[in-house]
Amino acid sequence: MELTANAFGRNARKALLDKTLQEALGRTTGRFLAHRDAAAAAFPEFEATRERASRIKRDVLDHLDTYLARFIEEAEKRGTIVHVARDAGQAREIAARIARDEGVTLAVKSKSMAAEEVSLNEALEGAGVTVVESDLGEFIIQLAGEAPSHIIAPAVHKTREQVSRLFERHLGEPRTDSIPELVGMARRHLRAKFLSAGMGVSGGNFLVADTGSVVLVTNEGNGRMGTALPRVHLAVVGIEKVIPRMADLPTFLRLLPRSASGQTISSYVSIVTGTRRAGDPEGPERMHILLLDCGRSAILEGKYREILKCIRCAACLNTCPVYQSVGGHAYGWVYSGPIGAVLTPLLVGLPEAAALPDASTLCGACADVCPVKIPLPDFLLELRSDARDQGLKTPGEIAAMKGYAGVMKRAGLLEAIERIGGVLGQFFTKGKGIGGLPYPFSGWTERRDFPAPAAQPFRKLWKIRRGVTR
């Protein structure tokens, strides 16, 4: 997928002017968030479960070599062919080779961020395979030739009218504004693909080390059909998705759907282990797992290791005021929202995505909802200082920050500036904020507006309130 993370400012501006997107975002993130909060509140063990999940994941990261080796051993014991890719190019090569060796011409794919990360579809298509996305949202954006804009709701930016138009053009279906009819059209079309595809491609929400199983969590049932009906199953999964034991799975299954959509459990959880056994009427004859490093072992080595605990629930997206305003495309790569703002720079290199850690107000909401307790705001802050150390900030921005720090350390100076600011502020104010300030403050306003100063500084109001007069 094309990387435009450093164009966040331009991408965001475009998103803010897109009326359809704005409506969809408001509707979606608000609803997911409300459901998530209700589900967490209705589950008294939620906090204890978060703590446990976080500890299990930390143990996994401390011993990833051990657990991954166990996973591979158990998977191979059950007939699974395990491949390892160091980077995206290698992953594409391996996938293309698998498709060619297996003689596959049609593949049904269920949603996978990992596959998106390495542009797997391109590789398969290069090997002569037609890849059909089977998740309804992914199917819609595949027809539209676009990229997903939300981890669990990839077509959140499309209206039913746009969907109907796509189905008319690509599937020859009549126009309708009934959503159930649209879902029925996709169901019919995709059913035929499931029944004739030679290969099912999936991601994996969890890899179970002690049994060599891949776990898929879906609501539509596409993951299940794609891994049970075709002759070959290829699962593309990041190495950090390992959990130690099958007995740990319930802990994560209690968190993922609740955090994602507020469901107690998703409609389907499929636990697939190895190839079909003798006498099994379904299940693939051949099962491949493609494990992706693609930068993960490097992350494991450094101070951002805990980002690898992520279970891709998207709760941090839904709760993030920046994501709520600009949506997923603005982040310019596969991952968006707070997780994207941290993970993308780590996976593609900070110079390629230095704009993303700034795409946050550091309000802390993401850390509050993260089911595995990743300190996202700390990481965002740390990445900003890395960006500065690596010379990725403009001199103006650095000067502005230095000036700001200098002022904040001197109470008297701050007070004086507040007083002058209250008066001068109005000259620079456009609408709600201050746009182009003169140097060195332009370093701040290059990419963001500064809020207009209040006529009365907070500290004065506070003194008045406490009855201190001077």
Partner 1 sequence: MNEREALFRRLAAACGSHGAAAGEPPPGEAPPATEGDRVARFAEAFSAAGGFLLRGPVEAILSDLGEMLRAEGVTALFFPEDDAAAREFAMALVPFGPFTLTTGTEVRGGGAAVTAGFRTAEAAIAETGTIVETSAGGKTLLPGMIADVHVSILSAASVVARMEEALAAFGADPPRNISFLSGPSKTGDIEQTLTVGAHGPKKAIALLLPPERTE
Stretch that binds partner 1, among 115-123, 124-132, 223-231, 360-368 (CB under 8 A): 223-231
Residue 243 binds: one of ligand SF4, partner 1, none (C-beta under 5 to 8 A by kind): none
Compute how many residues bind partner 1; rule: CB under 8 A. Answer: 105
Taking the least distance from each CB to ligand SF4, the nearer of 104 and 320 is 320
Taking the least distance from each CB to partner 1, the nearer of 294 and 355 is 294
CB of 55 to partner 1, least distance (A): 4
Stretch that binds partner 1, among 11-19, 246-254, 357-365, 430-438 (CB under 8 A): 246-254
Taking the least distance from each CB to ligand SF4, the nearer of 270 and 336 is 336
Residue 314 binds: one of partner 1, ligand SF4, none (C-beta under 5 to 8 A by kind): ligand SF4
- Residues in region 46-85 near partner 1 by CB under 8 A: 48-49, 51-52, 55-56, 59, 61-69, 72, 82, 84-85
- Residues in region 264-303 near partner 1 by CB under 8 A: 264-283, 291, 293, 297-298, 300-301
CB of 443 to partner 1, least distance (A): 36
Taking the least distance from each CB to ligand SF4, the nearer of 276 and 312 is 312
Chain residues in the site for ligand SF4 (CB under 6 A): 259, 310-316, 339, 369-372, 374
Q: What HEC string does the chain produce? A: CCCCHHHHHHHHHHHHHCHHHHHHHHHHHHHHHHHHHHHHHCCCCHHHHHHHHHHHHHHHHHCHHHHHHHHHHHHHHCCEEEEEECCHHHHHHHHHHHHHHHCCCEEEECCCHHHHHCCHHHHHHHCCCEEEECCHHHHHHHHHCCCCCCCCCCCCCCCHHHHHHHHHHHHCCCCCCCHHHHHHHHHHHHHHHHHHCCEEEECCCEEECCCCEEEEEECCCHHHHHHHCCCEEEEEEEHHHEECCHHHHHHHHHHHHHHHHCCCCCCEEEEEECCCCCCCCCCCCEEEEEEECCCHHHHHHCCCHHHHHCCCCCHHHHHCHHHHHHCCHHHCCCCCHHHHHHHHHHHHCHHHHCCHHHCCCCCCHHHHHCCCCCCHHHHHHHHHHHHHHCCCCCHHHHHHHHHHHHHHCCHHHHHHHHHHHHHHHHHHEECCEECCCCCCCHHHHCCCCEECCCCCCHHHHHHHHCCCCC
Residue from 21, 24, 197, 346 touching partner 1 (CB under 8 A): that is 24
CB of 394 to partner 1, least distance (A): 33
CB of 65 to partner 1, least distance (A): 4
Residue 111 binds: one of ligand SF4, partner 1, none (C-beta under 5 to 8 A by kind): none
Residue 230 binds: one of ligand SF4, partner 1, none (C-beta under 5 to 8 A by kind): none
- Residues in region 86-145 near partner 1 by CB under 8 A: 86, 90, 134-137, 140
Residue 251 binds: one of ligand SF4, partner 1, none (C-beta under 5 to 8 A by kind): partner 1
197 scored as a contact of partner 1 (CB under 8 A): no
CB of 86 to ligand SF4, least distance (A): 24
